[in-house]
Chains A and B, each alone.
Chain A
């Protein structure tokens, strides 16, 4: 290898890693702009079938730190009282009639439709993914994300980030083999309590569910300090008591 070629490779590697480092910082800022580190939220999930038929679910969600998420279904009546807990890679579902939590996986979906459990009980992106490549394309950053472990639902993400607000515009989710599983579209910038300004609507479609669409609408996001014990199997059936 000629000297100038070696210098070129070395410089591009350095620049690449610097960009990845910057990319990780960008990703952390994106996470904080989407939600506070610990918060409570109210969301509606809407599954839309190809014929336009809709099914709606309302969820109360609590999150603390990097690894704790709990959700409670408030409606419809058939799902009311169901709750889910995520502690790092562990996920459980509590169904009132069954009366005890059962372990579930990130790829399953407790609501049907395009959103799966990892979408509904999502941890911060920077916790599950590392930025491998960052591109600056004027008004947007384009981040290529790689899962930090094999237990994460999607192996790779391609995230378009609005440079001005540092929130995602679009995320494509891929398997390890490079197959596109779904695309998330972030819409309707909204200012919530505590001054959080972020897209209130996340739409998703998938080549695996031709013609189907699912929408997640944030109605309220608010900072909240929570005890660690809220995120335990013993408290899972009682989450409604702290609403």
Chain B
């Protein structure tokens, strides 16, 4: 009888364990409905981030740009405080969606307060099925496989080489994605046509106004390689075409490259007597890069970039010589400065011919989760100047991201980085996502 009682007790206990597993595993119990609540889809959604970035900027008093902006009486270093808000939102109803990204910046700098608000993206999207999408409005395309530069990004604004992961402002376009998947070595084929109008008050920074430009990208995933063929034609910019590819050579080694042919390009050249002149020619731009990840999660990226539209060492010397000549008036922002003589040349990032980019980062060293030290450098191979950017990124809690970094510019007179206004900048960025 006693045995029966024991057996019954054990049976009841085992039954309870199987019927109420929660009792047995109370410690590990997780409420699945809470996860589904967090995943709930809403027609209207929004988010973004708030950012505060104080910076200390050390100025290079001998540089051309310092002389241009401050003359001989300016400060040695200045502080700058940036307050930024980024808003992203969407409204989706069946196959139609409206998407926007806006950016607002309030800056307290050496010359006082300044503010800027921009619409990065704002477009309507018709998504009939995964094979066909039609978009109309302001949109970024982000073509190319390169990390630091993209010679085939024919309808994008240039990236900020100091902040490559930042969002860019788009252009007003009408574009489509037509996609097909296959079995066999060709897994995906996609065509992306883009219409880009340029008017006096629409996309005016793209090129000559009064024209409708046509660009396109054909994408293949063939033999495990991403391949794009791209083109741009129209009257706002000269016709250009190219291709890119990206492929994993091993599971931790990736190679990528871009090649672009730019027709009828206006370039600055120096004549025999050292005078600057403008010529028109077809030019090639190209990029080749590698990305390598070690077993300990150290990431290396190296890229070589040849900018066919850029100018060489002789042209650079001549431009700075001319800009610093007595006919130019240092210290005046309205005088006959280099900006006025060759407006696009000295202001744009990486305007010369050959560059090398190198970046290394170590994920979560010393078992510190969400912490990444990194080091980036950009070398101008034409004039030997360079930019060195060590940095630390840390996320101490969900939705909070902090970054501390320095930007050091090294170069002699008449070199790209040697003639910049600052020779170092130390910045601390706090970003809160919501």
Chain A interface (Cβ < 8 Å from any Cβ of B):
42-44, 47, 49, 55-56, 58, 60, 74-78, 80-81, 87-90, 95-100, 102-103, 105-109, 112-113, 150-151, 153, 187-190, 200-201, 209-212, 215, 217-220, 227-235, 238, 240-243
Contacts and interface: CB of A to CB of B under 8 A. Distances in A.
Interface in B8-22: 21
Given A97-B166, A97-B167, A243-B41, A44 B21 contact: no
Contacts of A212: 367, 369
Contacts of A187: 25, 28
A122 to B, nearest CB: 15
B248 A90 contact: yes
A184 to B, nearest CB: 15
A95 B47 contact: no
A174 B141 CA distance: 41
B181 A90 contact: no
Contacts of A233: 188, 190, 219, 221, 226
Contact of A234 (B92, B168, B219): B219
A88 B181 CA distance: 14
B251 A219 contact: no
12 contacts: A42-B36, A78-B49, A78-B401, A80-B47, A87-B188, A96-B88, A97-B167, A100-B143, A150-B251, A220-B36, A229-B179, A229-B181
A235 B133 CA distance: 9
Nearest to A242: B130
Interface residues of B, number: 69
B293 A234 contact: no
B395 interface: yes
List the 8 shortest-distance A-B pairs measured between CB atoms, nearest first. A228-B181, A99-B142, A219-B35, A229-B130, A78-B433, A77-B433, A100-B142, A219-B32
Interface of B: 21, 25, 28-30, 32-33, 35-36, 38-39, 41, 47, 49, 88, 92, 97, 125, 127, 129-131, 133, 140-144, 147, 165-168, 177, 179-181, 187-188, 190, 192, 219, 221, 224, 226, 246-248, 250-252, 254, 256, 291, 293, 295, 297, 363-364, 367, 369-370, 395, 398-401, 433-434
Given A98-B142, A209-B367, A212-B369, 9 more contacts: A42-B36, A74-B38, A75-B39, A77-B47, A103-B246, A107-B293, A217-B30, A232-B130, A233-B226
B248 A103 contact: yes
A190 B29 CA distance: 11
